[in-house]
Amino acid sequence: MPHDGFRLIQNAFVKAYKAGSSSPVISKDNIVYWYRIQSVNAQCNDATGRPEGYQYVSDTLFVVTLLTSPAQLVVTSGGQSSTFNVAAGAVMTKVAIRAGQQSFSLKRNGLTVLSGTSTRSFTINCPSNVYNFNVYVGTI
């Protein structure tokens, strides 16, 4: 599963550190998101069982916006949309994830400036009969 999106977040803070700033350096709008692709409650026929510590995770979709100016973030999880006003800079937003597609858009002054849909859906089932608690990371 890709984790490349985490580099966008890391780079904003590395640039700030190198510049002697405590605020992330952001020159372009980005949306970074991550989530596990199956529910913590999925029932799998996995001989190794659930991973240790499974009881400490939740079915959550994490989104970090890296913004040059404030905007509205719209997260659609399994067909249910939530809208958040997000400030400029690096802002984390958490959403209870629902089964199905995960889509994201960023709006300013009523106009969509970024949008996209994850290539991986979230499921409450266990399609491969293996517990997979790795996160899928995407960017827009």
- The residue range of the domain holding 38 is 5-139
Cα 75 to Cα 94: distance, rounded to the nearest angstrom: 10
Question: What total number of domains does the chain contain?
Answer: 1
Q: Is 13 helix (H, G, I), strand (E, B) or coil?
A: helix
Q: Chain-wide mean pLDDT for the chain? A: 94
Q: For residue 28, report the phi and psi dihedrals to the nearest 5 degrees.
A: -150, 140
Half-sphere exposure of 70 (CA within 13 A, CB side): 5
124-56-121 Cα angle (round to 5): 25
CATH number of the domain to which 132 belongs: 2.60.40
Cα 59 to Cα 77: distance, rounded to the nearest angstrom: 11
Query: Per-residue pLDDT for 14 more than 80?
Result: yes
> Helices marked H in the chain — which ranges?
5-19
pTM over 0.95: no
| pLDDT for res 46 | 92
Which of the listed ranges 4-8, 53-57, 84-88 does the model predict with the highest average pLDDT? 84-88
pLDDT tens for residues 16-65? 999 999 899 899 999 999 999 999 999 999 999 898 988 899 999 999 99
Query: Per-residue pLDDT for 1 more than 90?
Result: no
| pLDDT for res 19 | 92
